[in-house]
Copies of this chain bind each other. A is one copy, B any other.
Amino acid sequence: MAIAASERHRVVIVGGGFGGLYAAKSLGRAPVDVTLIDKRNFHLFQPLLYQVATGAVSPADISSPLRAILARNKNTQVLMDEVLDVDPEQQQVVTKHGSIPYDTLIVATGVSHHYFGNDHWKATAPGLKTVEDALEMRRRIFYAFESAEKETDPERRRAWLTFVIVGAGPTGVELAGAIAELAYATLKEDFRSIDTSETHILLLEGMDRVLPPYPPELSAEAEASLRKLGVEIQTKTLVTNIVDNVVTTQQGDTIRQISARTILWAAGVKASKLGQVLAERTGAELDRVGRVVVAPDLSLPMQPNIFVVGDLANFAHQGGKPLPGVAPVAMQQGEYVARLIQARLKGKTLPSFTYTHIGSLAVIGQNQAVADLGFTKMSGPLAWLVWVFAHIFYLIEFDNKLIVMVQWAWSYFTRNRGARLITGEANLSAFEARLKGDRQEREPPAVKV
């Protein structure tokens, strides 16, 4: 579709994650007016969110104010607002504060947790998508050790020292590894009544191996490293219930009940609400988890000026499986749409989007990671170095790169993690009352292991 260049073309981008931000950055010098709308005032570097959850870095260290990133793009306005509806006929988005017209719309609102129909598990088993999620996990992890120190009943103490992580994708693996390092190294000298090396960390996965999307040999390496760190891994295992801080699992015919005061959810995502809105307004097709099925140029069928990029898009790569919801896919898609808009302004078009695989990485602990770089696979200290530098490199702002490097160097040599604060409630009582509500104050059932 060619665009008449007679008037200034208006691009509205919804979502300031990797997809939306990279689209906006690429349009910084294009002859268009850009409006980037996000509910938050910052871009979050989600790949390091587990480090906030485990007290290694602070939220601001991996976040950048969207305005600061885009301040020099004088054609770009950032609005902190929430898009409620899209009107393809009037070509406008409806926000909480008004309507904003567009000539081209880019939707990049990502995904949230999916509890597979068990949304009531959320209170007991929080997921990890937002800064608030990470602080909630951090609070629970460190509060568990504090409570164990005060607990005199051995069964209850054991439940406080049991951590169950549901889902062994990159986030689950990284959480399990980080908690193991906390319990077996960082916190070892800090307590008097408990021995933190008695901490039990259990990583559950429904598929037959950890890191299911990765090459099998890397899964095996990751599994070996995690076991060496002290993590118990159970694959082919489904969570069938979570109630009163007891996780019920099923592995084949074996039912197991695990008393754990800290349960972290790293399994399954579902598309954000705007996917549903787009389906209703444009007839776009949604996949099983609500992602929008996009055309080869990432636009919607019959709606050439509406694009969906990033985790919210279901893009069948060269006719195969949909691309995974990872940062590099979102970045490349955002940049592709920005280029396509500029090509159209010149009356041209672009070939279909193709994804250039730059690698899959997961970190397990100090000096331990696995990396699939396409041309080669690796694990161990070298993969860990690749992981460190890739993450520093992609952190958006220079001050964040600097601060994260300082924190990592510090904790590399000292094993210390400085950001292990229990915060977030005006007073602790409110948090304790909430935890109490979850468990309905009674003796924990026996642990069958």
User: Are B418's CB and A410's CB within 8 A?
Assistant: no
Q: Mark A59-78, 1 if CB is under 8 A from B, else 0.
A: 11101110110011000011
Within the complex, the shortest CB–CB distance from A193 to chain B, in Å, comes to 7
Within the complex, the shortest CB–CB distance from A300 to chain B, in Å, comes to 27
- Whether A418 contacts B149 in the complex (CB less than 8 A), given A72-B189, A189-B72, A406-B402, comes out as no
- Whether A190 contacts B64 in the complex (CB less than 8 A), given A150-B79, A428-B39, comes out as no
Residues of B within 8 A of A425 (CB): 132
A286 within 8 A of B: no
A155 within 8 A of B: no
User: Are A399's CB and B422's CB within 8 A?
Assistant: no
Within the complex, the shortest CB–CB distance from A127 to chain B, in Å, comes to 12
- Distance A419 CA – B72 CA, assembled complex (angstroms): 19
Residues of B within 8 A of A393 (CB): none
User: Are A407's CB and B403's CB within 8 A?
Assistant: yes
Within the complex, the shortest CB–CB distance from A385 to chain B, in Å, comes to 22
Q: Which of A403-449 contact B (CB under 8 A)?
A: 403, 406-407, 410, 414, 416, 418-429
Q: Mark A79-106, 1 if CB is under 8 A from B, else 0.
A: 1111000000000000001000000000
Q: Which of A14-68 contact B (CB under 8 A)?
A: 39-42, 55, 58-61, 63-65, 67-68
Q: Out of B58, B67, B146, B427, name the residue touching A59 (CB < 8 Å).
A: B58
Residues of B within 8 A of A400 (CB): 418
User: Are B421's CB and A410's CB within 8 A?
Assistant: no
Q: Which of A256-278 contact B (CB under 8 A)?
A: none
Residues of B within 8 A of A131 (CB): 421, 423
User: Are A142's CB and B41's CB within 8 A?
Assistant: yes
- Distance A327 CA – B32 CA, assembled complex (angstroms): 54
Residues of B within 8 A of A422 (CB): 40-42, 80
Extra contacts, 17 of them, besides A41-B142, A60-B421, A397-B418 (Cβ < 8 A), are A41-B146, A42-B420, A42-B421, A58-B60, A59-B421, A60-B420, A63-B421, A68-B418, A71-B189, A77-B193, A79-B149, A80-B146, A82-B428, A131-B423, A135-B423, A403-B407, A406-B406
